Amino acid sequence: MTKARDLANGGFGLVLVKPSSVVGGTDNGKGTVTFSGASSVSLNDVFNTNYDNYFLTGNFDASASSPEIRFRFRVSGSDNSSAQYRYQVIEAGGTTTAAGRTTGATWWYIARGSNTVRNFWNLQINSPFISTIRTTGFSNINQQSDGTIYVDSVTSAIDVTTSYTGFTIFPETGTFSGTISVYGYNK
């Protein structure tokens, strides 16, 4: 049953959030950002009081073989590159499963790419604008050229209470091309 207040404000599901500015890519005018041959892509002013939680989705082609795709929060046009990020990852591919933990990093790991096929990732971020220590969970599924499915499951946190308004994604090495969209969950 639909609540009358949801009908009145159109508050269903996810809302595409338009960044105030983009560095290293281009906004299509609605909020989907494309980038090509970029060493990094930054979206400014996508986190605010309108939403508490966000869903980021994207795809990319990497120029290097198997680079990590990394994430940093930013505020006022500057990245937080201090050693305050931590994450736990479980990776599975073919018949191999591995796990690892990183603390004191200057970024979050969000995906491992391939330069032979398109790579996809989905990221859930909880309360980036609220001044609390943040946690997030996300998963990434890659289809590699050999037909093997690769799955990464990652849970992350950042040990700081800054109110963040944006983020940067970047490959470990080389450049990348693709798209990214940010959606806010209606309250």
- At residue 147, the pLDDT reads 64
Between these two residues, 19 and 123, which has the higher pLDDT value? 19
Q: Residues of 62-101 as b/e, b for ≥16 C-beta within 10 angstroms?
A: bbeeebbbbbbbbbeeebbeeebbbbebebebeeeeeeee
Fold type of domain 25-185:
Jelly Rolls (2.60.120)
pLDDT tens readout for residues 163-181: 999 999 999 999 999 999 9
Is residue 62 over pLDDT 70? yes
pLDDT tens readout for residues 68-87: 889 999 999 999 999 999 98
Residue located via tokens 């990221």: 123
Percent of the chain residues past pLDDT 70, beyond the cut:
86
Q: How far is CA 6 from CA 9, 137, 157, 187, in A?
A: 5, 27, 32, 10
Is residue 64 over pLDDT 90? no
Confidence category of residue 2, pLDDT binned at 50, 70, 90? very low
Percent of the chain residues past pLDDT 90, beyond the cut:
50
- In three-state secondary structure terms, 113 is coil
pLDDT tens readout for residues 15-44: 999 999 999 999 999 999 999 999 999 999
- At residue 134, the pLDDT reads 77
User: Are the CB atoms for 109 and 89 separated by under 8 Å?
Assistant: yes
Domain map (residue ranges) of the chain: 25-185
Is residue 113 over pLDDT 80? no
